[in-house]
Structure 1
Amino acid sequence: MARPKLEDVAARAGVSVTTVSRVLNNRGYLSDDLRRRVNAAIDELGYRPDAIARSLIGRRSGLVGVIVPTVADPFFGELVSSIERGLAAHGYKALLCDCQENAGREAEYLDLLQANRVDGVITSTHNRDVAGYDRAELPIVAVDRRLGAHIPVVRSDNRAGGRLATEHLLARGALSPILITATDHAGNDRAAAYREVMGAHGREPRVRAYGYATPMDDRRALVETWLADSGADGVFATDDLTALMALEWAHKTGRSVPGDVRIVGYDGSAAVRLGVPGLTTVGQPIGRLGARAAQLLVDRIADPDAAPTAEPPLPVELRLGWTT
């Protein structure tokens, strides 16, 4: 009869391999019920870790999973680069997971990373209700995404950014600026700020959401349809790529920018600034976001039981260009 393995104990107890390792090492917080279940499974199976297994238990892999919605967006490419630099300064390497804005793929990546015993995860996706984060048994840090009180969030001041963009469009003479965003939900601070400013000026807010999983060509078609139908003389796009789609639409339809339509984007990645330096946009401190996320995760790996701190939002700035 084959000797029982760590995986057999995990299956018998109904927990992950990581949980079994933490029980054996007495590492991190675990409920009494979990400890009893794991110890009962160990006794029932007669599991005994051999010398090699004992030497591996508790050893760090030096790997960190980084989950992003897409590396095709310049913002996430720059964010990943800054995260990698921050992790490398502490001797960690990043495993990049591009979930292609798919919630199912994101959940699979999270399971895969835990099964391969990475030391922690940094996630910057925007899929909602992805199963797994609430019961993950490794340190996690989120970038611009609220996953629960137990997971710290690094983010920019998106509400201030939304106000800056909307106030600027109105100040430049836009009477009916439209907001184009990925998803319109209660956690979208940029959209909330747009509504607040429009309401304060007695204007009707008009929000259009294309959905994160919408392919790029379909998103462009939606943007062009919305702009053609809305009669908007201003566009606040909550990412720079969508702002560039609006700019392309204006050129294709013979509308002058900023005479007929004023356009403001969001993010201010180096790639977009280099390609279209005249785009007015709300710039995020992308390098600081990545560096802070990396440092937070390293700290949580060193002390997984430390209570997560409330991270203050990082400041944003309005970068003026000829599109307004």
Structure 2
Amino acid sequence: MTLHSPKARRPTIYDVAKRAGVSPSLVSLVLQNPMKVSDKRREAVQAAISELGYRPSRAATTLASSRTKSIGLVIDDYRNLWFVDLLRGMESVLSDLGYQVMLADSRPGENRIKEAVDGLLAMHVDGLVIAAEPSESMLAKTWVPTVVAGWRKGVPGGADLITNDDDGGGGMAASHLLGLGHTRIGHLSGADGASAHRRAGFRQRVEGAGVDVVIAESEGTSEEDGYAAACWLLDHHPETTAIFAANDTMALGAFAALKARGLAVPGDVSVIGYDNSPVAKSRYLDITSIDNRSDILGVDVARRLLARIEDPGLEPQRKLIEPVLVVRSTTARPASAQSK
């Protein structure tokens, strides 16, 4: 007969202390501030932790200090993959310091972002990163250190803003298409703050070159929005030879609209996106895109937020990160120019 052994007990800080031959308070000090402990004793505690498989209780840590070691990140849509690099950059700074990032998806809407932020604040996060359009109720003031990532229509009072130079990025996209010889250009845009800056930079550069641009603007920036905007653009302006999408996700919608009309990319119409997201980097899609360097943005956002947590009295900061053009296979000279 086989008997089931009793369920193993979770190791405690007292077990670690006994194994290492030190006091529980010294184990706690190693967990909280290891550099204050001698190498010999620190190594003994760390060895005991490894041998026993001990995992510190976050709840206990929270009670022992006034912090939860957690950061709230609010994004606008999981389907828009630009935030992947943002999150990776943040975690490269925060993880080594014992912080965890708690993610909330607000989707468009005043109530949704309020619910997302309220949910994170209810978990007593130490800081907040807003990578979505803030609600009206948030614009007056935030109650925890807050950094806004990317251009938004408004920035909460007292919050920092760290963003890509989207005006410059839009101008880069325009210069690339103009340099290839395109003069019949369309732009798929959204209604959010980042889209507005990308649109303004793109339009200024194109019109400054004496070329007209047709803007197809949607409320959102999803693949479906990109498809609908591209359909309108191609139906009303079939002479279009190049499309600049406000992000890589909208560019996917443009591909679908072009395919439905029997048009090839870039043979008939060149397409350039924005964000240099995992979608653009895909070897199959290989989309020309403006790299907004979200990983660098994430690093700067995390560092600034940590500084605000340590000193809430710091004056709000505004910082721009320069984008980079990444040329791939979805842009080329227009067919008319190639035949000459």
Residue by residue, what CA displacement relative to the aligned partner does 1:177-234 show, whole Å, maximum 9, x if unpaired?
A: 111111176982211111211221222232222112x764455234323322222221
Going from structure 1 to structure 2, the CA distance change for 1:131 and 1:301 (only over 3 Å counts) comes to same
Superposition map of 1:256-267 within 5 A: 256-267=264-275
Deviation at residue 282 of structure 1 after TM alignment? 0.8
Verify the 8 A CA contact 1:110 1:132 in the aligned structure 2: no
Aligned to 2:75: 68
Unaligned 5+ residue runs, structure 1?
A: 1-54
Counterpart pick for 2:169 among 161, 173, 184: 161
Superposition map of 1:276-295 within 5 A: 276=284, 278-295=286-303
Aligned to 2:306: 298
SS at match of 1:251: helix
Amino acid at match of 1:112: G
Deviation at residue 149 of structure 1 after TM alignment? 6.0
Superposition map of 1:174-253 within 5 A: 174-183=182-191, 188-212=196-220, 216-217=223-224, 219-231=226-238, 232-253=240-261
Indicate the larger mover: 183-192 or 229-238.
183-192
2:122 is the counterpart of 1:112: no
Deviation at residue 261 of structure 1 after TM alignment? 1.3
Indicate the larger mover: 254-263 or 161-170.
254-263
Amino acid at match of 2:323: V
SS at match of 2:147: strand
Going from structure 1 to structure 2, the CA distance change for 1:90 and 1:186 (only over 3 Å counts) comes to closer
Verify the 8 A CA contact 2:226 2:251 in the aligned structure 1: no
How far apart, CA to CA, are the structure 1 residues paired with 2:283 and 2:77?
A: 19
> For the aligned residues, what is the CA RMSD?
2.4
Deviation at residue 58 of structure 1 after TM alignment? 7.1
Identity of aligned residues (%): 26
Verify the 8 A CA contact 2:75 2:105 in the aligned structure 1: yes
Aligned to 1:122: 129
How far apart, CA to CA, are the structure 1 residues paired with 2:77 and 2:105?
A: 5
Unaligned 5+ residue runs, structure 2?
A: 1-61, 332-340
TM-score, normalised to structure 2, is 0.72
How far apart, CA to CA, are the structure 2 residues paired with 1:242 and 1:187?
A: 11
Amino acid at match of 1:224: C
Residue by residue, what CA displacement relative to the aligned partner does 1:57-78 show, whole Å, maximum 9, x if unpaired?
A: 9701111110001122221233
Q: Bigger relative contact order, structure 1 or 2, given CA contacts below 8 A and separation 6+?
A: 1
